[in-house]
Chains A and B, each alone.
Chain A
Amino acid sequence: MRRLGALEGAVMEVLWQRQRPTSARDVAQALAARDLAYTTVLTVLDRLAKKGFAQRTRVGRAWSYTPAAPREAYITQLMLEALNLTGDRDAALVRFARSVSSTEAETLRRALAAAEDPPVRRRRR
């Protein structure tokens, strides 16, 4: 399961690099260095199509695959969730920090400068 998941990324990478519909055989060739069975590539492509990440069209007797969306679209979607800009407050992710307003930023900078002035204080535990 885990291995197939990792392969999905590699296969999508191939589809994203080709600008045109790509057959399973071409994908297998592009990933020749990974020494995959052809059937494994077929399985992964099938999974990607079922998940909606790849679209397939029949060309002659074989399927050809194209990415459903560009790579950047998925990254943008992840970043929107990461920055909590999707609009719904959820607890799906635990984020590091969000931006502050410019006045708050100024206060923070002053606090940092003040802490820098004396020898840096270590927090006692």
Chain B
Amino acid sequence: MTYALHHAVLVIACPLVVPLLAHARWLRRVPHTAVLLWQALGLTWALSVVGLAFALGLAPYHLGVLPGLARAAADLTAGRLADRLIPIQLGALGAGLALTAMLVGALVTCTLEILGARRRHRRLLALVARLCPEAPGALVLEHPAAAAYCLPGMRSQVVVSEGMLKLLDRDQLAAVLAHEHAHARARHDLVLLPFVALRRVLPRLRLVAQAADAVALLVEMCADDLACRRHAVRSLATALLRVGTASGTAVPAGALGAATNPLAARAHRLLAPRPPIPWAVGGLAAAAAATVLATPLSLLVLPA
């Protein structure tokens, strides 16, 4: 029962941490660590939600979740599961299985949809995009609006529009391309994927949206930092500003949604850098996250 309690505490605590992490400005100074914290938080929450249901359902076995499930499966085939578990426990067991199926299913469907969308996009790119000496390492789309993006995958592709080439000077364009190549190399799409999937399962939960938006912004900041290793901060910041304020790329009202604009946050961060966070603080935060995550993980296997 103490284990179920532990899961229950985490199920409630994780959502409480979301606004704290989302509003912690200092995390933007260490975006890579911050992404790790969000991943740990998300995984901890998912594991403890599932773990809570299983811990309640499998309580009579006094085993961890995985060995307990094995024993329950054995009892089910032997036809004595109903003797071992009372109805409430059977219900909890069913809920645990349903939740697991829902989370895994969301991840799988989301991945398949994204892969399909990328395949279609890649196919069209092959038809109409061109190589252009002005944008080395990227494909160019002949369109006046300004856009730059990365099509991630095993063979990732960076794409810019002609509008973007007109908008930026050579250094700014190089910084933008470096930013996109950083996304591609670091496979930031895989970081975003579970949060996008979770948002699809729970589209109305504000906390989920908050977490997904925060991770998306942090991933951009990671790519900004990586791009600034080779390029002038000013070039990237100016590029952000120019793209953000360019006419012809106006996003319909409501499409942005966020109260504080992510683009503004990124530009401010680049233009007015705060002193770096001591290495130890980031390490400490990561260690704390790892500890919290370790408990639901260990309860999967350890006897209860």
- Interface residues in chain A, defined as those with a beta carbon under 8 Å from any beta carbon in chain B: 5-6, 8-9, 12, 51, 53, 71, 74-79, 81-85, 89-102, 104-105, 107-109, 111-112, 114-115, 120-125
Q: Check: B24 CB closer than 8 A to any chain A CB.
A: no
B160 to chain A, nearest CB (A): 9
A121 to B128, CA, bound (A): 41
Segment at the interface with A among B41-49, B81-89, B176-184: B176-184
Contact with A along B273-284 (1 / 0, CB 8 A): 101100000000
Is the beta-carbon distance between A101 and B261 smaller than 8 angstroms?
A: yes
Cβ–Cβ contact B246 & A12, under 8 A = no
Given A83-B147, A104-B264, CB of A74 within 8 Å of CB of B121? no
In the assembled complex, the CB of A27 is this many whole angstroms from the nearest CB of chain B, namely 15
Given contacts A83-B145, A115-B271, contact A105 B126 (CB under 8 A): no
Can you list 7 A-B pairs, Cβ within 8 angstroms, ordered by A? A9-B128, A91-B110, A94-B192, A105-B245, A109-B241, A111-B268, A125-B228
Query: Which residue of A83, A90, A120 is within 8 Å of B113 (Cβ)?
Result: A90
> A96-B180, A98-B256, A122-B233 in contact; A79/B145 too (CB < 8 A)?
yes
If over half of B's interface residues share one DSSP class (helix, strand or loop), that class is named, otherwise mixed; here it is: helix
* B interface residue count range (under 10 / 10 to 19 / 20 to 34 / 35 or more): 35 or more
Whether B261 pairs with A104 at a CB distance below 8 angstroms is yes
* CB pair B128 A90 closer than 8 Å: no
CB of B148 closer than 8 Å to a CB of A: yes
Question: Could you tell me if B244 and A78 are in contact, using CB atoms closer than 8 angstroms?
Answer: no
CB-CB under 8 A for A79 and B245, given A94-B149, A94-B150: no
Contact of B249 among A12, A51, A83, A114 (CB under 8 A): A83
User: Of residues A75, A85, A102, which shows the largest number of chain B Cβ atoms within 10 Å of its Cβ?
Assistant: A75
Which residues on the A side are within 8 Å of B118 (C-beta)? Answer: 92-93
A91 to B190, alpha carbons, bound, how many Å? 9
| B196, A91: Cβ atoms closer than 8 Å | yes
Q: Is the CB of B243 within 8 A of A125?
A: no
CA–CA, A90 to B143, complex, Å?
Answer: 22
Picked from B127, B183, B251, B276, the residue with its CB within 8 Å of the CB of A94 is B183
Query: In the complex, which residue of chain A has the Cβ closest to the Cβ of B114?
Result: A92
Q: Which of B242-277 contact A (CB under 8 A)?
A: 243-246, 249-252, 255-256, 261-264, 266-268, 270-273, 275-276
